[in-house]
A and B are shown apart, each in its own frame.
Chain A
Amino acid sequence: MIFVQVAVNGLLLGAVYALFSSGLTLIWGMTDVINFAHGEFVMLAMYVTFFSYTLLGIGPPGFIIIATIALFLFGIAVYFSLIKHVLRGPMLAQIISTFGLALFLRSAALWAFSANFVSLPNNLVGGTLHIGSINIGVAHLLAGLTSLLVTFAMHFLLTRTTLGSRMLAVAEDATAAALMGIRPDPVQALTWGLGAAATGLAGALIALFFYVSPEVGNSYTLLAFVTVCLGGFGSVPGALLGGLAIGLIQTYTAYFIGATDKNITVLALFVLLLWIRPQGLFGRR
């Protein structure tokens, strides 16, 4: 039974990983920029959630919506102030620009909010469901299900809508898309906004059951990379499966080997995978 319990926990956690990784994969696939500040976006959303609750007294689901919108706007701002200008530059400039952004956001948070861990009250989205002998935290369940829904919505957006086709066209060849009457700038800005919004939503959901600190983004950046690599770059369904796999690996390692080793197994598997199958499990080159 404990086996099933661990699996359920892992899948719910994995769904949240899938959500913020799909934000990363969207930005990467559509604008060909790796956002090394991705984890810091998660961290920012967690602080927005926390302060909406403590300072403005807004509870769920209000603060989740606020965090999503705030990150959407933030993503667009980052695109216009930074990304747009390095997009056609050398790859090294692209990489260090988002690294600089990550360092800036993390340190600014450290400066403004101090290194202390803070967290939302435990039972804000209260209670535990008992199904047979399996216990499921309602907050985890809510986070997992919302993540699944949004990940599917994003896949739908990319594959079944005009906007999605525009994004794909710009990703394929910005100049050709411009000749067809699609202006790349608004489309790419929107990509950054949507990617950041998905990340923001994930951050707000994680804040329901996890502590917030300026350093928290660090581990999420790496997790998102691993998830995206596992699923194959630019693939939203891949990110979903990758996220679920990582969630399972983490919870099983934590249960059977020890909580401190969970990121070691994830990283070791990741390195192994890069050697054997560099294009990811579901990716095409």
Chain B
Amino acid sequence: MTSSWRLAIIVFWTAIIVVPIAFGGAFVQRIAALTVLAAIAASAWNIVGGYAGQISFGHAMYYGIGAYSALLCYTKLGWPPIAGVPVGMLLSVCLSLLIGFPTFRLSGHYFSMGTIALATLLGLLFGNWGFVGASTGVMGPAAPRTVFDLVFRSAWPYYIIFLAVLAVVLLSTYALQERRMGFYLRALGASDRAAASLGVKVKYYKLYALLLSGVFTALAGSLYAIMVGFVDPPSVFGIIVSVNMVVMAALGGAGTLFGPVVGAVILVPVGQLANAYLGGGKSGAAYVIYGIVIMVLARFSPGGLLRALSRWPAKRRRHAA
């Protein structure tokens, strides 16, 4: 890594951490917290979708399970929602084991299709299941009973908590990337047949990636539920939830460590600002812009922004030499 790259990364992280503190309006803080939350989810998706190249369009199933676990722990047992975090993670592991082996027989488009169907199915089932509030959804605690309920008026404490979690997710991904496992996953992503012929236990490593990715996505879902205090099937199982993770990772660069973070830092503020100034999600104007951004990205920067950027100076250097 060149020193200019290192400088760019330091500037980028300082900007992410400092900007919300410097311009600490409630609106900016909320956007900052949501950005970091989206970065967590997109980074989690990146493990199986980016590194291992299994493009899941159904990660909302983990997100939804995490979100529901948190708030159900509160409504059914009276525990603070955060107690639902390990429950959600455990359930996500069960889900990965349940679906991993059968769906990994599917490859390419088939895998994407199967995961979409599963997430939609779970959303429909939750929407018809009285125990989890059916289509009305579940509410979290309105006012904090103790500090463990993590109910804050300002988005500021959430921002700090989410940053810490994002750091954990990125460190895990980094550790993965540098170890043998990371090479196996990238080999899988490039071609699972070639990887298998070189002795990589394809199914085992795909499942391992899915487990890790699912656990972190469930965690992101729980955090979302804790911050927003309300979940219903479309808000956490909706296909747009999965699409957001994919698009953010793809925009920054799927299969790169910081790609999903870059994607989230660009797309979440764009979406929130468009929502605020173009009249809410109901009018559709915000998503018109979102859709255009996605198409332009796929058309002009198919490998993601980070890859495009890192290729550019290399080309210039070659010319100079």
Listed in ascending order, the chain A residues whose CB lies under 8 Å from chain B are 28, 34, 82, 85-86, 89-97, 99-111, 115, 214, 218, 222, 225-226, 229, 260-261, 263-264, 267-268, 270-271, 274-275, 278
Query: Which of chain B's residues 99-118 have a Cβ closer than 8 Å to chain A?
Result: 102-103, 105-106, 108-110, 112-114, 116-118
Q: Within the assembled complex, what's the spacing in Å between the Cα atoms of A222 and B302?
A: 25
A92 CB contacts on chain B under 8 angstroms:
49, 55, 246, 250, 254, 302
A99 and B243 contact, CB distance less than 8 A: yes
Which 10 residue pairs spanning A and B have beta carbons closest together? A104-B291, A100-B294, A110-B284, A93-B302, A107-B287, A97-B298, A103-B291, A107-B284, A89-B302, A100-B295
Q: Are B298 and A106 in contact (CB under 8 A)?
A: no
Instruction: Indicate if the CB atoms of B298 and A226 lie closer than 8 Å.
Output: no
Q: Which of A82, A214, A263 interacts with B295 by CB under 8 Å?
A: A82
Residue of B117, B125, B247, B283 touching A110 (CB-CB under 8 A): B283
B183 within 8 Å of A (CB atoms): no
Question: Chain B residues with Cβ under 8 A from A101's Cβ?
Answer: 291, 295
Are B106 and A103 in contact (CB-based, < 8 A)?
A: no
Question: Which residues on A sit within 8 Å (CB–CB) of B285?
Answer: 107, 111
Nearest-neighbor residue (CB-CB) of B300 within chain A: A85
**Chain B contacts of A82 at CB under 8 A?**
295, 298-299
Cα–Cα distance between A103 and B281 once the two chains are bound (Å): 13
Let me know if B318 is at the binding interface, CB within 8 A: no
Contact (Cβ within 8 A) A115 B282:
yes
**In this assembly, does B136 line the interface, its C-beta being within 8 Å of a C-beta of chain A?**
no
Is B284 touching A108 in the complex (CB atoms < 8 A)?
yes
Q: Are B247 and A96 in contact (CB under 8 A)?
A: yes
Q: Does B172 contact A (CB under 8 A)?
A: no
Q: Is the CB of B113 within 8 A of A264?
A: no
A-B pairs with beta carbons under 8 Å apart, 14 shown: A82-B298, A86-B298, A91-B109, A92-B250, A93-B298, A93-B302, A95-B109, A100-B293, A100-B298, A225-B117, A261-B128, A275-B102, A275-B105, A278-B106
Q: Is the CB of A95 within 8 A of B125?
A: no
* Most B-side CB within 10 Å, residue of A86, A108, A274: A274
A271 and B250 form a contact (CB under 8 A): no
Q: Which residues of A contact B229 (CB under 8 A)?
A: none
Partner among B102, B113, B124 whose Cβ is within 8 Å of the Cβ of A225:
B113
Closest beta carbon of chain A to B181's beta carbon, Å: 21
**Closest Cβ neighbor of B283 among chain A residues:** A111
Contact of A96 among B125, B250, B303 (CB under 8 A): B250
In the bound complex, do residue B295 and residue A93 qualify as a contact, i.e. CB atoms below 8 Å apart? no
Residues in B whose Cβ lies below 8 Å from that of A106:
284, 287
Given contacts A90-B303, A103-B290, A104-B288, contact A222 B121 (CB under 8 A): no
Q: Which residues of A are found within 8 Å of B297, using beta-carbon distances? A: 96, 100
B283 to chain A, nearest CB (A): 6
B294: which A residues are within 8 A, CB to CB? Answer: 96-97, 99-100, 103-104
| A111:B288 contact, CB within 8 angstroms | yes
Tell me which of B109, B128, B247 contacts A99 (CB under 8 A): B247
Known contacts: A222-B116, A222-B120, A274-B110. The answer to whether A107 contacts B246 by CB under 8 A is no
Say which residue of B114, B116, B288 sits within 8 Å of A108 (CB atoms): B288
- How far is the CB of B123 from the nearest CB of chain A, in Å? 10
Q: Which of B118, B290, B292, B299 is the one whose CB lies under 8 Å from A271? A: B118
Contact A107–B298 (Cβ < 8 Å): no
Find A34's partner among B109, B282, B291, B298 (CB 8 Å cutoff).
Answer: B109
Q: Which residues of B contact A103 (CB under 8 A)?
A: 240, 243, 287, 290-291, 294
The residues in B between 63 and 89 inclusive whose CB is less than 8 angstroms from any CB of A are none
Whole-angstrom distance between the Cβ of A109 and the nearest chain B Cβ: 8
Q: Is the CB of A267 within 8 A of B291?
A: no
Shortest CB distance B2–A (Å): 26
Determine whether the beta carbon of A271 is less than 8 Å from that of B284: no
Name the A residues within 8 Å of B109 (CB-CB): 28, 34, 91, 95
In the assembled complex, the Cα of A102 lies from the Cα of B302 at a distance in Å of 18
Distance from A268 Cβ to chain B, minimum over Cβ atoms (Å): 6
Cα–Cα, bound, A90→B103 (Å): 21
Residue on B with the closest CB to A258?
B128
Query: Which B residues touch A93, using CB under 8 A?
Result: 250, 298, 302-303
| Contact between chains at B288 and A107 (CB < 8 Å) | yes
A111 → chain B closest CB, angstroms: 4
Closest chain B CB from A126 CB (angstroms)? 35
B17-56, CB under 8 A of A: which get 1 and which 0? 0000000000000000000000000000000010000010
- Please tell me which one of the listed residues B108, B114, B287, B292 contacts residue A91 in the complex, with CB atoms under 8 A apart: B108
Contacts of B302 in A (CB 8 A): 86, 89-90, 92-93
Complex Cα distance, B285 from A104, in Å, reads 9
Query: A104 near B114 (CB under 8 angstroms)?
Result: no
**Residues of B contacting A264 with CB < 8 Å?**
121, 124-125, 128
CB nearest neighbor in A for B243: A99
Give the chain B neighbours of A89 by CB distance below 8 A. Answer: 298, 302
Residues on B with C-beta less than 8 A from A111 are: 283-285, 288
